[in-house]
Amino acid sequence: MVDIRHHHGYASRYAPRRLMPPRIRHPSDLMEDHPTGIDPKTVTLVAMRIKYLVEETVPCELEEEQIIKPHSPILTSRVIDLCRNAGGDDNKSCVIYCLLVCFQWFRWQSLKELYDADLGQLRATACQMLAKRIIESTENQEYLFEELLLKRFSHLQNGEATAPMSAVERAVDLHALQIIGSSGYQKCMKYLWNGWIIQDEHDPTHFVPYEKLTSTNYWTHVHPDRLKAPAYQNAFQMFVSFIYLGLYTAAINTVNPDGDIDVIEGILYVFTLGFVMDEASKFWKVGRWYLGFWNVFNCILYALLTVSFVLRCIALSQPVDTSERSKYNTLSYNFLAFSAPMFWCRILLFLDSFRIFGAMLVILKQMFQETFIFFSLLIIIMIGFLQAFMGLDNTDAEKAPPMTGFIFRTMTNALLQSPDFESFDQFSPPFGMILYYIFTFVIMVLLLNILIALFNSAYEDITGNAIDEYMALFAQKTLQFVRAPDENVFMPPFNLIEVFFLVIPCEWWMSRKSYAKLNDRVLSVCYLPLLFISAYVDTYYARMIVRNRAQNQEDDDEREEWEELDSSTDFENSEWREKVKNAIPNVEEDVSTQEIKRVGKELKDLMDRIEKAGLLRERVEEEDLLLREETPEAIRAPDAE
């Protein structure tokens, strides 16, 4: 199973990162693979229509609050409906994907056209908010999941069709927090995480509902395919990681002076071999896009353990009770002990599904990104001062042997806030001391404070948006398990069984059907305890889903204590509803707008009354005139006199 934890650097925020190597295909090929799909050219045209709509809706720089507020005066219901129907009746399903394409276009435009950078970012935000409004206003959940979010599309790029990608994948790659934080998107992630939506057995690029979702029979859920659910894979990885840590703790606390490898150490190295092969297979499948912070971290840990194992083998090749055997054995244990901090930090990698650890990891990742600026400045300054100190050392004719080691050590101490000024008293006076004072000032006063400011900025940025960042991390973790799945889920260390007992001896001669049955049986044996636990969890969820559907509720709805008397209340048809309606304020408009509308309504009523009074007066005058014309002259004469 491909498990990718890529580190979002500067480039990844503005370009999608693929979990599988890109493979350019012609649009006609995409249509053949997906007969019900939409042609990439059509998708691109829909994206261009949406781009034009956003440019006309946001023609100039505005306050961002006007775009992101719930009842935005800019992104009105008419704009949202027009965007929803930008593809017509036949191409509605690609709208969210096209909004993400436009989101990427506007961000790239803001980088290329710095004079309009703020406007480009504002339009990118508008694309996110439009997608969020469409997702949250879509009531048909099945259509939302299978068509808008999980269906894969391609668009044209440099005249060629891009690799098919769904909206959920593209949102994670582009780090579109507003879209990821929408309720419909997170519900889709929850269904994928629990395995309620799974890959189609015949086409893993398509997602279908789990057909046995409502089955309350325990044994129907005991099947190896349920291991593909991200929740169960994550639980197994956590379990194996704690076992791995326990094996390491036992091995490092039971040193073998004679250099022999005991059972615990043997199992530890077998686990390490499984992890190494898993990392190698992922890198082979994915390529350079696989490399990230945690991947490099794991590779360093496995490299240290590999060196420890090689040194232990060298020690075993030496005669017993010799200094060479003791030397290599001690060196092997030193490498093993040196990796202890990395073993414990590795546990954090599998705890990011918990909110407290996930938010902390996001903060740490952002801080590591911010240190790029610091280390860029540090390297340049260190090289400059190092060259100066080396030059002073070389020009001193009366000096002892070269002091290269001393220079490196004192510069490092200054970087770690432990300068050694006394050692420079006799180093090319007075230039050595003056130069060291300047170096210490630059490092300790300027650069380290810049680093602290960068860390503080990163902390504020993440904690101010911690919930959305955590949801993005959870979405990324979920998609790691489903974007490029294997047919058979052999996770380390059981991937060694797959390689040495299934792939090498059996796959090349067995039929596909027979090989699939063999894999299912081996998986059932290897993961039997996990299958029993997962079947129990699936049965529990099945009962809950059946109960919710009987009450016309959502599948994932959980009954809370304030819902216990819902059957006894009917607010929609009661007097209380009218009272509440008359009491609540209008949150869609501010007070000033409401007062202006009220005054306008009163003015309109007044004008209507004046108009009605004028019409009535004209009518009275017309009737009086008509009456005078019809009255005989003899009758009007006395009146005239």
Within a domain: residue 77? yes
Range of the domain at 431: 356-475
Segments in 318-447 forming alpha helices (H): 323-338, 340-346, 355-395, 404-415, 431-441
Q: What is the distance between the alpha carbons of residues 72 and 177, in angstroms, rounded to a whole number?
A: 18
Tell which residue, 25, 20, 36, has the closest CA to residue 161: 25
Residue the block writes with tokens 């961002």: 64
Helix, strand, coil proportions of the chain in percent (round to 5)?
70, 0, 25
364 & 308 share domain:
no
Same domain, yes or no: 279 and 364: no
- 530 falls within a domain: no
Please give the tally of structural domains in the chain.
4
Residues 164 and 35 in one domain: yes
pLDDT, residue 289, reads 63
In a domain, 485, yes or no: no
| Residue 473 C-alpha from the chain's centroid | 4
> Hey, what are 323's tokens?
């200094």
3-state DSSP assignment of residue 166: strand
Q: Identify whether 111 is part of a domain.
A: yes
Is 392 inside a domain boundary?
yes
Closest by Cα among 294, 300, 430, 336 to 5: 294
18-43 in b/e form (b: 16+ CB < 10 A) is: bbeeeeebebeebeeebeebbbbebb
Burial of 330 (0-12, 13-18, 19+ CB in 10 A): middle
- Domain membership of residue 138 (yes or no) is yes
Cα–Cα distance, 428 to 340 (Å, whole number): 43
Same-domain status, 298 and 366 = no
C-alpha to C-alpha distance for 301 and 507, rounded to whole angstroms: 32
Q: Please give the Cα distance from 358 to 351 (Å, whole number).
A: 7
Domain termination site, one of 194, 210, 242: 194
| Token pair 């650069």: residue | 447
Q: What is the DSSP string of 412-425?
A: HHHHTT----GGGT
Alpha carbon 638 to its chain centroid, in Å, reads 99
Nearest one of 440, 389, 387, 450 to 415, comparing CA atoms: 440
Asked whether residue 284 is assigned to any structural domain, the reply reads yes
Q: What is the CA radius of gyration of the chain?
A: 35
> What percent of the chain lies above the pLDDT cut of 70?
88
Please tell me whether residue 197 adopts helix, strand or coil conformation: strand
Does 71 lie in the same domain as 18?
yes
Task: Please check whether residues 104 and 141 belong to one and the same domain.
Answer: yes
CA nearest 402: which of 411, 393, 410?
393
pLDDT of residue 106: 94
Backbone angles phi, psi at 416, to 5 degrees: -90, 20
Same domain as 236, residue 178: no
Distance from C-alpha of 280 to C-alpha of 259, rounded to nearest angstrom: 29
Q: How many residues does the chain have?
A: 641
Q: Are residues 128 and 237 in the same domain?
A: no
What does the pLDDT read at residue 334?
92
Which segments in the chain show pLDDT lower than 50?
1-36, 640-641
Same domain, 29 and 97: yes
Tokens of 3: 């498990």
Instruction: Give the pLDDT score at 636.
Output: 52
Do 158 and 283 share a domain, yes or no?
A: no
Q: Where does 444-562 show beta strands of DSSP type E?
A: none
Among the candidates 460, 475, 490, a domain finishes at 475
Q: Is residue 554 part of a domain?
A: no
What is the rounded distance in angstroms from the CA atom of residue 444 to the CA atom of residue 142?
Answer: 59
Q: How far apart are CA 297 and CA 511, in angstroms?
A: 40
pLDDT value at residue 535:
92
Domain limit, last residue, from 350, 365, 392:
350
Residues 188 and 100 in one domain: yes
What does residue 207 show for φ and ψ, rounded to 5 degrees?
-115, 140
Q: Are residues 302 and 399 in the same domain?
A: no
